[in-house]
Amino acid sequence: MSGNLHWHYPRNALAQTLFQLWENELTDSITLTAPPLSGKSQFLQEDLLPLLEKKGWRVRYFACSQVPQKYLETRLHEVLVDFAMGERWLSHQLRQFMGTSTTASPLAALFSQMRKGHKPCVLLLDDAGLLLKKDNSTALLKELFNAMQINGQQIKLLLASTDLNPLNCPTLFTQNSSRVTLPDIGNEFIDHLLGLYSQLTQSVARSGQINNSYEGITWGQMDHGSLMQAFKTLQRSPAAMRSLIEELVLDPEKSLPVALKRQIQLQQRHSMADLDWEDLGRLGRLLLLAIAEGRQQLYGKSYRDWLAEQTGKSAISASQIQSCLKKMQRNKVIALAADHWHIVDAQLARLLRHQQENKI
């Protein structure tokens, strides 16, 4: 796609709000919660980070999702130490190489060095919820929060966390920070995409890269209502909508319904990947499929006998089913409303409804 077009849709008002929370000393730590694929990371890197740097603040961005889980604690500790040392990464590494102590000082002691600086310092931890999956990483987070209590006047922290229900927030985060929910990007985003679509199709048409038979028919023309409906179908995901527009521009023969169907499939694959399908176990997968199909009577003897047969067990008890359901509820895969189980992720529910039992 053309590098001259600005795909990013700015959320400057939200960036200014977060800055003011720190600037006015209303809080030192903020937790930003958002649903998947809602533009959280792009907001941090394209809106908040540039604003803070423009204000003269020193900023360090670290994406937990970009580091393998087994190295996450070590890498985060390195980032925190280098951040506290003014990001003099090379001098820090040279001191280790020259044989001085490699044992890092407690974070509070390291952060105290930064209080003498003239510019506030901000640490942006993206996808910070991943840190809660390991005990050691959780301990490091607690140490970070303790250090913030002592040195928060000059040091600010933002933890970004993803959840299908953005109102959910890890307890450790809510106890130590102020929570802000990433707002819906707004319907103006569709106007932004329509403008880009028009510019791109006109540019491609002028370049002669498209057969004239397509010009003036449907390609290059898209109405606001159709895109709004597609946006709703894609659960108002900015990333999915941008991908949809790119696909329509690059393939003149592809209709909106066809491109939309493909984006739904991509969302479903993403949901399945996030689910850790293989880790659910046979019983969990069968129960999840049953819930997707609308079954609510999950404890009857005939159904338990069927589950036992499918899982190769001599018997499945009601307590085993209850334990499995509670585990999926804790992991926010399913939820209970009005005494009925339902799958939290709508795209995942649609996918499972079309799954054949022999594919589980």
Task: Provide the residue range defining the domain that includes 306.
Answer: 276-359
148: in domain: yes
- Do 98 and 236 belong together in one domain? no
Q: Given this model, what pLDDT does residue 181 score?
A: 92
Q: Is the pTM of this model over 0.85?
A: no
**Among residues 273, 299, 330, which one ends one of the domains?**
273
Q: Given this model, what pLDDT does residue 180 score?
A: 93
7: in domain: no
107, 147 in Cβ contact below 8 A?
A: yes
Residue scoring higher pLDDT (205 or 186): 186
- Do 259 and 209 belong together in one domain? yes
165: in domain: yes
6: in domain: no
Tens digits of residue pLDDT in 221-250: 678 898 999 999 988 989 889 989 988 888
- Do 118 and 213 belong together in one domain? no
1: in domain: no
Structurally, the chain folds into a number of domains equal to 3
- Do 25 and 165 belong together in one domain? yes
**Among residues 132, 154, 181, which one ends one of the domains?**
181
- Do 92 and 140 belong together in one domain? yes
Tens digits of residue pLDDT in 116-148: 556 778 999 999 988 887 777 788 888 888 777
**Among residues 161, 181, 201, which one ends one of the domains?**
181
pLDDT band at residue 110 using 50, 70 and 90 as cut-offs: low
